[in-house]
A and B are shown apart, each in its own frame.
Chain A
């Protein structure tokens, strides 16, 4: 064992939240060390890996797991890393690498709506957040300015200042949805961390339509950009450092973390403040792994809530052929939504949801279908063009309520480094299922307005996962039933902070990344308040 590293701030995880916290702290002159379990990635190699992959709808295909820091892989076969305890499968996908999972996100950078944070008070379901939307608003704004967010004002989330960028140009396909669904449904531009003009040294989108799994031109913000920015600001980033234990002293203060390098040599890193930002599965895993005589249930777990209240956004969907040629695949993948069902008194009865339209190129999926159907000869090409021009999809993005039984626990199985694997216990509750039922007539009406034929609903009772890992480290004002306060400080350890989507006490209906970034920036400012020069630091 070596003891060779020390830093004022030790950040575990170099994803978008960990890296942006590190960047903030480093810019304010602090010594910051980021420990990242996975390797560095290279954009060019990722693009090549995707083009050469036989699994073009598997967004993980360019991101194989490394032996020392595995992440869940399901195709061509399950690597068994995320153990499934049931009763419903939770096949979460995430990337352990420098920059983390947002290498392959769709860059949807939504704010919540204010009522999302008060659903217990308003609708008698879930829990209230230990803060208000108004408190988070300036941090949302700052997050949007750092990562470069393009959006429209009509999506239901209030704001005090304009978006940094105007919405990304609407693809023809989405325009036709908007026009044909009006006035019954308002189809609005998605709020995205995608450039509608050159921004912060990165170019405007040029419609590569591979936002997932990789934007070839860096027109959407990723954790990779954030990690680069953190290093440029002076943070030290060590890839391939697999933190496996958090050490506390007799008073409960965190004293050090221990990591393995890929050869399984152990290293100890001391610090003054520790920030756990390893995602909603790896972070609770690490806290549970760090159990000691003083904390037999794991660190930060006096409430018993570490790993619990696992949430995501399940989806059901309808695929159909539009009456007219839309040709999905021109422009970015995720351009438009219907946002009017995100909130309302109905939340007492069933889950709210966003309705999301894909603009993902349909050629690969259509080709696979034709092959499966045994279509041959000239008919193949004819059908391929007809279907690729018309096939489209609408899905719901449903809220899941916090349920302590849905949780990440430690498995008895171990990975190649001898570290227990995470184990997912998950179910889809009635609240969410009722929300899915509620959306069905909307699916049907949308298809009708589009002159749809060949309607194919997702299989009954089958929910697709959106990889928005939420909860598991929920924040709250009561230490008896929450893991951290609204600044991410764990109730049990005053120098251990949490950043990431795990902090969110409810999942709401929107992709969770922007909210997690806003919370992380607020945490950074709490740790080390900005000085007067802060406003000059970022120039769009």
Chain B
């Protein structure tokens, strides 16, 4: 637990240890609550932020963005919040390294196997859902645009003056 939470804290600024623990706890509690209570609990993005930080390896420090993605993911799957809590609990209890997470989930045919990809897609692509229900929530501010922002502009944005692309990028 300590190793996991320490790693989380290192990767997280807006998301505290308290958020993480509360996320796990609320998920566990919400699984026993009627829908109305679960909806109230879903107001809390703590667990989502913690899982997001773990999976993306990036700081989750924009509450507005976090809320938008969270709400979209919840809209796609009513059990999203409790699933997040359960997955966090599983990672914590078994101390699963993030590099081995997907393999573990797939090999166990875990009901949460699709969850990490959904979360990472939301943050890195700005896309929630798939197929006909896929929708774009972020483009310029999606993590994949941000992490290369020193070299590339998101497509459709002007790179620079004419010919500015001819020089060595870095």
Contact = CB atoms under 8 A, between A and B. Distances in A.
Interaction A to B: yes
Contact of B155 (A329, A377, A389): A329
A208 B165 CA distance: 10
A214 interface: yes
A194 to B, nearest CB: 11
Nearest to A56: B155
Interface stretch (A93-101, A130-138, A361-369, A414-422): A361-369
B151 interface: yes
Interface in A37-81: 47, 50-56, 76-77
Given A52-B136, A54-B129, A364-B125, A371 B120 contact: yes
Interface in A341-395: 361, 363-364, 366-368, 370-381, 384-385, 388-389
A506 B54 CA distance: 56
Contacts of A50: 155-156
B54 A376 contact: yes
Interface in B37-76: 54-58
A175 B56 contact: no
B131 A374 contact: no
Categorize the interface residue count of chain B. 35 or more
Contacts of B143: 381
Interface string B98-109: 110111001000
B153 interface: yes
Contacts of A366: 144
B145 A363 contact: yes
Contact of B165 (A214, A331, A388): A331
Interface string A212-232: 001011000000000000000
Contacts of B144: 363-364, 366-367, 384
A169 B125 contact: no
Given A205-B162, A330-B165, A371-B125, A76 B120 contact: no
Most buried by A among B125, B156, B158, B163: B156
Contacts of A373: 102
Contacts of B58: 381
A149 B153 CA distance: 26
A374 B56 contact: no
A166 to B, nearest CB: 11
A210 B152 CA distance: 13
B117 A374 contact: yes
Contacts of B106: 374
A363 B147 CA distance: 10
B28 interface: no
B102 A374 contact: yes
Most buried by B among A54, A175, A217, A388: A54
A54 B134 contact: yes
A331 B165 CA distance: 5
A209 interface: yes
A89 interface: no
A47 B157 CA distance: 10
Contacts of A175: 166
A208 B156 CA distance: 5
Interface in A171-223: 171-172, 175, 196-197, 204-210, 214, 216-217
A216 B127 contact: no
Nearest to B132: A76
B102 A381 contact: no
Contacts of B156: 47, 50-51, 208-210, 214, 216
B93 interface: no
A325 interface: yes
Interface in A323-349: 325, 327, 329-331
Most buried by B among A325, A331, A371, A385: A371
A208 B11 CA distance: 33
A170 interface: yes
Most buried by A among B98, B102, B125, B165: B165
Contact of A207 (B125, B148, B164): B164
Contacts of B121: 371
Contacts of B4: none
A53 B136 contact: yes
A54 B136 CA distance: 5
14 contacts: A50-B155, A56-B155, A197-B162, A206-B162, A216-B158, A325-B169, A330-B159, A330-B165, A331-B159, A373-B102, A374-B116, A375-B99, A379-B57, A384-B147
Interface of B: 11, 54-58, 98-99, 101-103, 106, 116-117, 120-121, 124-125, 127, 129, 131-132, 134-136, 139-140, 143-145, 147-148, 151-170
The 6 closest A-B pairs by CB, nearest first: A374-B102, A207-B159, A331-B165, A169-B163, A378-B57, A54-B134
Given A56-B155, A377-B54, 13 more contacts: A52-B139, A76-B134, A171-B165, A206-B164, A207-B153, A208-B153, A208-B155, A209-B155, A329-B152, A364-B125, A377-B57, A381-B56, A384-B148
